């Protein structure tokens, strides 16, 4: 992972929120991507926001499952056995939103998924 320029989040953003949410998304990608698959981690300014994303080449998530990935205690139909309590993304959503951010998922069955979250950038930080 490399960054070409410094990313500056706003004063309300917490390093703990960024780290926990990124690690949760990476851990989920590692559980679902097949051996030899790819996982990409990115961060970039998008307007007034700093967007963090984790993209994998896993199986993707069915639409009916994707609608629930941020729900408490929910696990998808393709979840590996004993894959957790179904709280990681629920907690991340609450933390990101409590810091004025937003979180989401883009997915295509058979192609993979991108989990992303955005936090406000520091004033004047975007270039």
- Taking only the tens place, the pLDDT of each residue in 74-99 is 776 665 555 667 788 999 999 999 98
Q: What is the number of other CB atoms lying within 10 angstroms of the CB of residue 105? A: 15
pTM of the model: 0.82
Place of tokens 């991507």: 33
Could you give the CA distance from residue 106 to residue 7 in angstroms, rounded to a whole number?
23
Query: How many structural domains comprise the chain?
Result: 1
Q: Considering the domain boundaries, does residue 31 fall inside one?
A: yes
Alpha-carbon distances of 36 from 33, 57, 63, rounded to whole Å:
8, 9, 25
Q: Considering the domain boundaries, does residue 3 fall inside one?
A: no
Report the CATH number at residue 62.
3.30.565.10
> pLDDT tens for residues 8-45?
666 666 777 888 888 999 998 998 898 999 999 998 88
3-state secondary structure of 56: strand
Q: Considering the domain boundaries, does residue 7 fall inside one?
A: no
Range of the domain at 78: 15-119
Q: Considering the domain boundaries, does residue 125 fall inside one?
A: no
Q: Considering the domain boundaries, does residue 5 fall inside one?
A: no
DSSP string for residues in 78-114: TPPTT---S-HHHHHHHHHHHTT-EEEEEEETTTEEE
Q: Considering the domain boundaries, does residue 1 fall inside one?
A: no
């Amino acid at each position: 992972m490399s960054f070409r320029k410094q990313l500056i989040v706003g004063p309300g953003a917490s390093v703990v929120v960024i780290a926990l949410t990124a690690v949760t998304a990476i851990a989920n990608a590692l559980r679902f991507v097949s051996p030899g698959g790819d996982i990409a981690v990115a961060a970039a300014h998008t307007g007034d926001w700093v967007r963090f994303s984790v993209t994998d080449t896993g199986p993707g998530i069915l639409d009916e499952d994707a609608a629930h990935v941020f729900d408490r205690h929910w696990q998808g139909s393709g979840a590996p056995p004993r894959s957790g309590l179904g709280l990681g993304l629920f907690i991340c959503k609450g933390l990101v939103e409590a810091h004025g951010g937003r979180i989401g998922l883009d997915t295509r069955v058979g192609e993979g998924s991108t989990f992303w979250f955005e936090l406000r950038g520091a004033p004047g930080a975007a270039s």
